[in-house]
Amino acid sequence: LLARGIQHTAVRQAHRKYEPNFHDKYGNLVLLGGAAVFTAVWGYVFTQAGIEWGLSPVGRITPKEWRE
């Protein structure tokens, strides 16, 4: 008796019309919004934070005198 009730429920749900959920409706919009915020924040950090981009140590490191 219980199995037949489960079968009826499954059949009813299988024939139900598909309804879009939140991700179907707004997924791409949320993704694009997140990408825009990510780009804006890192763009600000790279341009305004005063990071010195000379990553090469050449000319900054001087050798120490040997102690013998």
**Residue spans per domain, the chain:** 1-35
pLDDT in tens, 27-67: 999 999 999 999 999 998 888 877 666 666 666 667 678 77
Q: Which residue has the higher pLDDT, 68 or 26?
A: 26
| Beta-carbon-side half-sphere exposure of residue 36 (alpha carbons within 13 Å) | 6
Q: What is residue 21's predicted lDDT score, i.e. its pLDDT? A: 86
Q: What is residue 28's predicted lDDT score, i.e. its pLDDT? A: 93
Output the six-digit token pair for 65: 């005198």
Amino acid, res. 40: A
pLDDT in tens, 4-38: 666 676 666 666 677 888 888 999 999 999 999 99
> DSSP assignment, residue 49?
S
